Chains A and B, each alone.
Chain A
Amino acid sequence: MKGRNLIAEVSEALKNRNQIENLRTSMLCMRDKRDAAMAGYTERDVAELRSIRQSSLSSLNENIKILKERLEKNGCNFYFAKTAKDACEYVASLARSKAVKRIVKAKSMTTEEIELNKWLIAEGFEVIETDLGEWLVQIAGQRPSHLTAPAIHLSRYEISKLIEEKIGVKLPADPKEVTKFVRSFLREKFLTADMGITGGNILVAETGSLVIVTNEGNGRLVTSLPRIHVAIVGVEKLVRTWNDAVRILDVLPKSATGQKMATYITILNSGSETPLPNDGLAKREFHLVLLDNGRLNALQDKVMSEALKCIRCSACFNVCPTYSVLGGHVFGYIYSGPIGIPWTYISHGLENAASFASLCISCGLCRETCPINIDTPTMVSEIKHRYGARNGYRWVDRRLAGYEDLIKLASIAPDMSNFLLDTGTMKWILEKFIGIDRRVSLPKFSKKSLRELLDVAFASRTEGERKVAYFADSMAYYINTDVGLAAVNVLRKNGFEVTMPPQRGSGMPSFLYGLLDSTKNVAEYNVKHLYEYVSRGYDVVSTEPTAIYCFRFVYPKLLGTKEAQEVAEKSYELFGYLLRMLENNKLDLSFKRYKDVKAIYYLPCHSRHLSKDKPVLKFLEMLGIETEFIDYGCCGMGGTWGMKRGYEGYEISKVIAEPLVSAISESDVDFVVTECSLCKIQIERFTGKKVIHPILLLDKAYKGLPVP
């Protein structure tokens, strides 16, 4: 969308408090239902589904050939549409030649993608959406804002007003009453439609079958009443066998809506005979329009082909922090939500994808919740990178991408930097010239860097049998050096020989803003130095979840080297590492137990994948600290993103943090515990409560000292 003013859209959306509250509650509810339904879904299941999707895509051209043969053998019409325009023209010309007047549709994002309704309406056809949410969005003249819940942005009150305005029927603001009305209102349309249009969830090549999944039953009526059925399906929906198809069908409803199974699955491989009004049975015409529209190009794109594996369950929407406050009209073009960014790139181009990609804060929750582990963050960074490489990066993004270098620079003269950063003038300068919101209070630099502090400590080094390389990351290196010292102490206490290899910040800030050349440089540097130790049998541990997230998920992909892969496999978050020792009875348990200390634990987003079992909670329990675990998803900081001026970052970040902030503020805990140093800044600035890294607690406990 050229000339899109995202800042204005964001500031408008943030005024809509009702929508924010509704959306947020809905997304949390969908997330929890989904998580409950997917509880038994293991890493092995992820790998299996991923390989099904991968092999389907690898043999796509062959599958298309088989599908076409099968369908034509069954007397169906098969049309391969290269572009959106080809698809729309095919449908319109078919409708014209068959004297179609009324068309009913079942929900299909693919027809949204190609803007089929607009095309058909311009040609004079009556087009009616029949999914309840889609119908509401259609009469409102809007686009769907969520993949599986298109009208989730509308409240029951808005809906009842909408129906009164557009249809002229006054209904109470009650979902039951509205549904009852829509049932009878649309029933007549189904019965009198000449053509039904659907999308498709899966195409099974081996039998030439189309699979449509719905809950309401409109998909069944659209494919059983009208005399013509057209299905428009993206090529990526093709799988080879029924074994593949049932696996997808098994996961899709669980991951989409938390249902064990969707209400209706319709499977057809031709048009069957239907009873016509006042006539006998007649065979329905079935047309399959197989749509390319950028997909086959994307298949050749090393990074973006990942998006083609998506089964459109929408689980990533429910956990996306920015989507959950802004909704799909701002966080989207036609496709919305996290996976909508690469999907927009594939079918609507770089400009349109970049028009909202900056709303992604790279928390990685989309990747973590995806039943196929689709690496959306990497695709989004790549889109930012390609856009920046073509049109130049934004000044503020370049500065914040180099945030780690800035820290390094400022730490040369920590006293001076600390003094300056506290002054109003500097805050004004930072906002004006860099783009850091003046309301952000930046953390204080340590007088000595961790390296300098440890050089003293290392003088008395002990040789240990087990060896670890400690990775501090920028914050523990220059600012929260106490965290680094505590980590080294605790590891030594447990008999480790601890070394701190030469290192630079993890590179997450440059990854976040798409300056992938910088990320790559940092990755090369860190891998080179860490590998030197890993190859000698060291494990890598860090107190900063983001660092391990980078080592595990970002570096191997960016570098593609054996060294990066080996470093990834040997990298651990400190508490996961300590928990493993505990489980092997190798942890020194001679630490103090506390009494009457209460805390809240906040699990950082970048820890979610590797610390599903929340090892910190286990340790806090052992320390006797009464801990409450709260889970409202991401805190909204996104590393440096929440520092960005006004509606580019700070204002959104603040709204994202609201539920977390109010839960913490209202509690009577002594402090908050979290591992991430940037979540710490966010939580401290909005709650005024102290945020402590768990290693500080464990270190104090080993020393028999009171909690800090």
Chain B
Amino acid sequence: MNRGSDTVERFISELEKLGATGKLLKTYADVVKHISGLVVEKGAKLVLMGDLGRRLSSELSKAITSIGASCFDIKDVDRRELRKLLEKADIGITGADLAVAETGSLVIASENDAERLLSCLPPIHIAIISKENIIDNFLELAEWLRRMQNTGTRTISIITGPSRTADIELEIVMGVHGPCEQHVIILEGDVE
């Protein structure tokens, strides 16, 4: 896999063309700071996270709670509360297994639909991806998709920018049924 700075630059530039944002960050502390900033800026009251790894999840949770918003990892939520919280969340934060520089796409395999709904229901989706996992071209996905669909029954979502429509006179409008905003954070190291 190519992880050169060209790949990252291309990925970010594609995201921007799609009306999303992309940011390359070095450390967890940077990520926490950046996301906290977004939470304040968007006035979010409820933030849900999933599939992030324990350390990042707990650091984010601490930071976001300290600025006065509620923040939970869906793994820690009482399952009977899960649906209600997902419906109410202002921001969903997820990891991503892969990203495709050529198209500005995120590829996310979800163990269950609570995870998947994190990037469906809230009006804002924040994804965190390790720089290592950005591939250059869409066609390179074939092998990975085969493997993932062969082992287990996960649902895979390939997400390219915020939700959009052009159904009325071809005018592009963002945020129909999915998120209106998408922010992608590229981490220099591993997302645990």
Contacts and interface: CB of A to CB of B under 8 A. Distances in A.
Interface in A7-58: 22, 26, 29-30
A132 interface: yes
Interface stretch (B1-9, B38-46, B56-64, B109-117): B109-117
Contact of B83 (A136, A190, A217, A275): A275
Contacts of B169: 22, 26, 155-156, 175
B153 A183 contact: no
B159 A263 contact: yes
B82 to A, nearest CB: 4
Contact of A261 (B86, B105, B111, B157): B105
B163 A272 contact: no
Interface stretch (A201-209, A439-447, A680-688): A201-209
A2 B152 CA distance: 50
B127 to A, nearest CB: 14
Nearest to B115: A272
B95 interface: no
Interface residues of A, number: 76
B145 A267 contact: yes
Contacts of B192: none
Contacts of A280: 79-80, 82
A367 B83 CA distance: 48
Contacts of B143: 242
A207 B167 contact: no
Interface in A116-150: 130-133, 136, 149-150
Given A26-B169, A149-B170, A266 B14 contact: no
A399 interface: no
Contact of A272 (B112, B166, B170): B112
Contacts of A249: 138
Interface string A242-258: 11011101100000010
B166 A267 contact: no
Given A220-B157, A263-B178, A275-B83, A241 B146 contact: yes
A152 to B, nearest CB: 8
A151 B168 contact: yes
A266 B79 contact: no
Given A224-B155, A265-B157, A267-B156, 13 more contacts: A156-B169, A180-B175, A191-B87, A206-B150, A216-B165, A217-B163, A242-B146, A246-B141, A261-B103, A275-B83, A278-B84, A280-B79, A281-B79
B83 to A, nearest CB: 4
Interface residues of B, number: 56
Contacts of A265: 157-158
A179 B176 contact: yes
Given A250-B139, A267-B149, A275-B113, A257 B166 contact: yes
A221 B177 contact: yes
A504 interface: no
Name B's interface SS.
Answer: mixed
Contacts of B160: 259-264
Interface in B75-114: 79-80, 82-84, 86-87, 100, 102-105, 110-114
Interface in A213-257: 215-218, 220-221, 223-225, 241-243, 245-247, 249-250, 257
A276 interface: yes
A434 interface: no
B155 A266 contact: yes
Interface string B151-192: 001111111111111111111010111110000000000000
A277 B84 contact: yes
A269 interface: yes
Contacts of B149: 204, 207-209, 242, 267, 269
A350 interface: no
Contacts of B166: 149, 215, 257
B116 to A, nearest CB: 5
B138 A250 contact: yes
Nearest to B179: A217
Contacts of B24: none
B86 A275 contact: yes
Contacts of B142: 241-243, 245-246
Contacts of B177: 130, 183, 186-187, 190, 216-218, 220-221
Contacts of B113: 224-225, 272-275, 284
Contacts of B111: 272
B145 A246 contact: yes
B175 A220 contact: no
A224 B120 contact: yes
Given A272-B110, A278-B84, A217 B120 contact: yes
A176 interface: yes
A273 B142 CA distance: 25
A159 interface: yes
Contact of A279 (B80, B120, B121, B150): B80
Contacts of B105: 261
Contacts of A245: 142, 145
A74 interface: yes
A645 to B, nearest CB: 35
Contacts of B176: 132, 179, 182-183, 215-218
A461 B110 CA distance: 78
A700 B86 CA distance: 76
B80 to A, nearest CB: 6
- Which of B142, B164, B177 has the most C-beta atoms of chain A within 10 angstroms of its own C-beta? B177
Contacts of B103: 260-261
Nearest to B158: A265
Contacts of A284: 113
Interface string A73-109: 0110000000000000000000000000000000000
A266 B175 CA distance: 18
B23 to A, nearest CB: 20
Contacts of A221: 120-121, 177-178
A272 B155 contact: yes
Nearest to B78: A280
Given A179-B175, A221-B120, A246-B142, A276 B170 contact: no
Contacts of A132: 165, 167-168, 176
Contact of B170 (A26, A266, A267): A26
Nearest to B111: A272
B178 A264 contact: yes
A278 B80 contact: yes
Contacts of A217: 120, 163, 176-179
A323 B103 CA distance: 32
A264 B159 CA distance: 5
A606 B76 CA distance: 65
Contacts of A216: 163-165, 176-178
B142 to A, nearest CB: 4
Closest 7 CB pairs of A and B: A217-B178, A207-B149, A133-B167, A261-B103, A216-B176, A280-B79, A175-B168
A155 B179 CA distance: 26
A220 B84 contact: no
Residue with the highest number of chain B CB atoms closer than 10 Å, among A223, A263, A269? A263
A183 B155 CA distance: 24
Residue picked from B83, B150, B165, most chain A C-beta under 10 Å: B165
A11 B109 CA distance: 53
A242 B162 CA distance: 25
Contacts of A268: 153, 155-156
Contacts of A607: none
A270 interface: yes
A178 interface: yes
Given A136-B167, A261-B105, A265-B157, A224 B117 contact: yes
A641 B178 CA distance: 47
A30 B171 CA distance: 11
B83 A207 contact: no
Contact of B138 (A152, A190, A206, A246): A246
A267 B150 CA distance: 12
13 contacts: A132-B176, A190-B177, A206-B150, A217-B178, A242-B149, A260-B103, A264-B159, A267-B157, A268-B153, A272-B155, A273-B113, A279-B79, A280-B79
